[in-house]
Amino acid sequence: MIQTVDERTPMKGLGRIAAHGASWPWWVHVSLIYVAARLVSACIFMAAALQQGVNPWFPPAPDYWNFITIWDGRWYAEAANNGYPSTLPLNSSGNVAENSWAFYALFPYLARALGALTGLATLPALTVIAMVAGLGAAFVVYKLFREFAGRNTALWAVVFFSTFPVSPILQVPYAESLNTLLLAASLLLVVRRKYLVAIPVVLLMCLSRPTGVPFAAMAGLLLVHHLWKRFGRRATGALPEFGTLPRAAHVPTPRELASLGALVVVSASGALAWPAIAWAVTGDPLAYTKTETVWRGDDLVLFKPWFDTGQMLFGPVLGVLAPFVFVAAFALLMMSKPVRALGTELRLWCTCYMGYLVVFLQPQTSTFRMLLPLFPLALSAAWLSRSKAYRGTVVVMFILLQIVWIVWLWAWAQLPGGGDYPP
pLDDT tens readout for residues 281-328 = 999 999 999 999 998 877 778 999 999 999 999 999 999 999 999 999
- Alpha carbons 420 and 423: distance in angstroms, whole number: 9
Mean pLDDT of 393-422: 94
pLDDT confidence bin for 33, thresholds 50/70/90 = very high
Beta strand ranges found along 13-52 (DSSP E): none
Global pTM value: 0.93
316 phi/psi in degrees, rounded to 5: -70, -25
pLDDT digits (tens, 9 = 90+) for 80-116: 999 999 999 998 888 899 999 999 999 999 999 999 9
DSSP state of 272: T
pLDDT confidence bin for 6, thresholds 50/70/90 = very low
Counted residue by residue, the chain has a size of 423
Amino acid at 267: S
The whole-number pLDDT of residue 2 equals 41
pLDDT confidence bin for 262, thresholds 50/70/90 = very high
- Dihedral sign for Cα atoms in the order 278, 103, 81, 202: positive
The whole-number pLDDT of residue 9 equals 46
Mean pLDDT of the chain: 91
The whole-number pLDDT of residue 7 equals 41
pLDDT digits (tens, 9 = 90+) for 229-258: 888 755 444 444 444 455 556 788 999 999
Which stretch of 3-17, 220-234, 373-387 has the lowest confidence by average pLDDT?
3-17
The whole-number pLDDT of residue 19 equals 60
- Alpha carbons 177 and 180: distance in angstroms, whole number: 5
- Alpha carbons 179 and 209: distance in angstroms, whole number: 6
